[in-house]
Amino acid sequence: MNAYIFPGQGSQHPGMGLKMYEDHALAKELFRSADKILGYAISDIMFHGTEEELKQTKHTQLAMFLHGYIAYRCLNINTPDMVAGHSLGEYTALAAAGCLNFEDALRLVEIRANAMQKACELEPSGMAVVLKFDDKTIEEVCAAITEEVVVPANYNSQQQLVISGSLKGLEIAIERLKAAGAKRIMMLNVGGAFHSPLMQTAQDELAEAIYKCAFNMPVCPVYQNVNALPTTNPDTIRENLVKQLTSPVRWTQTVLNMVNDGAVRFTEFGPGPTLGNLVKRIVPDMATECLGSDEA
């Protein structure tokens, strides 16, 4: 079985999508349609913008959604057996599986990006990655910090867990993790505390839009971030999508569940093999490929 996976923020780069735009009539049509729906040329920012412009959450999320969805439509010839996306990539996965139509997914991503940007501005916050350290100890350290917000946010592989919270909370957590034996901890260059309680205002705003949106039966099971479990139930998908912004991304367990359910190859649609590399760390002998990564 072939698992199709879609990345979130992080692997964007200037020029992303331009080759597909030049080579595929469908890509050109979809990029132009996106520009019209949004009311501005996101394609121009993707093709000709600076790295700094693409780093802005309001642009990054739209760029990554469009790139992944258009790569799926233009470079793929098979129907997926199962899909999953990392954080923002879950929206791309839902569109690829037919659960959301293109316009609805694009508008939800726009609302999500803007709501998250506003939430980031409410309090100084961020994320840090802890490498090659025990998940249980990281969870215990975060849980013991009650005076500030700091939580596990992205379970990326057995040896990579991202924590998220207020800057003070992260400072305390990093100090305690180092005291507990963690050797490699790095702050990430992100705008705020994604997948933490500090995103509650963004979740509330996004929830209103999600509940107004039509969700269809997907063509295959969707493995969702909040519980790493497969579902084809539109109501369940909607509920889990609402919870996603303040819940951790359980990517390690998602990949393991997909493998246990029969996945023998992971195909990533994105500008780089970010998720494929994580899959290799989780399941070292797994076959992976990335479609859309030959444009850099």
Q: Which residues are catalytic?
A: 87, 195
CA distance 233 to 238: 9
Find out whether 2 and 268 touch, Cβ atoms under 8 Å. no
CA distance 5 to 89: 8
**Distances in whole angstroms, Cα of residue 46 to Cα of each of 42, 65, 91:** 6, 12, 19
Q: Give Dmax (Cα) for the chain.
A: 56
CA distance 179 to 183: 9
3-class secondary structure, 129: strand
Helix and strand totals (H; E) in the chain: 13, 10
Q: Do the strands 150-157 and 82-85 form a parallel or antiparallel pair, or are they unpaired?
A: unpaired
Instruction: Give helix 57-75 / helix 89-96 axis angle, nearest 10°.
Output: 30
CA distance 208 to 95: 19
β-sheet with 160-166: strand ranges across: 150-157, 160-166, 125-131, 184-187
**Distances in whole angstroms, Cα of residue 272 to Cα of each of 9, 97, 218, 278:** 11, 21, 26, 12
